Amino acid sequence: MYTHSKETQSQLTPELAFDILKEGNQRFVKNLKANRDLLKQVNETKEGQFPFATILSCMDSRTSAELVFDQGLGDIFSIRIAGNVLNEDILGSMEFATKVVGTKILLVLGHTRCGAIVGACNGVQLGHLTGVLARVHPAIEAEAKEGHTGDGKDREFVNRITERNVRLTMERIYNESPVIRELVDAGAVKIAGGVYAVETGEVTFFED
């Protein structure tokens, strides 16, 4: 498997980048890991990096984006935080990744059995974690408006909040960053979402 260069990165469209992630996850699920020489990739990326994707995912130890999507060194920018929530620092990092470095896709990745989502559903408060979990509250409020309520013990409700949190984060990226919105509107970048199943390793993707 080759290491991405400026040329290969520039030739990718957002849709092709999305396909690479989908295909990588299928390899992961089927235990068909691509053949990579990681030490060679260390050498090939020492002068620069040309990743094709930026992934915002949870810090959960089971959801390493490089593994889940079977990618190598220099392939993706991986942003990880509890509950895959968004803040200004993360948004700025995404702007750097897309506008400056040239990644083609922004993927927001939630996952099943997420402790942060369960904590938010249960109203957990703990030091600075309280502020992190508060960023999940818009998803809980949106579900409540549609008549869906529950707590962290309600698996179906937690799954609803997990997906809603991803979709709202996708919307926020587009609405709150003029830099990224311009790239998306020009067809240079795609914003997508997905939920990783810790039970199977498979990602369910969605775009809108």
Domain annotation for the chain: domains and CATH numbers: 6-206 (3.40.1050.10)
* Radius of gyration in angstroms for the set of CA atoms belonging to the chain, rounded to a whole number: 17
Report the pLDDT value the prediction gives residue 49, as an integer from 0 to 100. Answer: 86
CA distance 154 to 162: 12
Report the pLDDT value the prediction gives residue 6, as an integer from 0 to 100. Answer: 75
What is the four-CA torsion angle of 39, 44, 48, 51, rounded to 10 degrees? -80
Report the pLDDT value the prediction gives residue 35, as an integer from 0 to 100. Answer: 84
**Ranges in the chain, pLDDT < 70:** 1, 208
Q: Tell how strand 203-206 and strand 105-111 pair up.
A: unpaired
Report the pLDDT value the prediction gives residue 85, as an integer from 0 to 100. Answer: 98
Report the pLDDT value the prediction gives residue 1, as an integer from 0 to 100. Answer: 67
In this prediction the pTM is: 0.94
Structure tokens at 191: 């914003």
- Give the closest residue to 110 by CA, choosing from 139, 131, 89, 134: 139
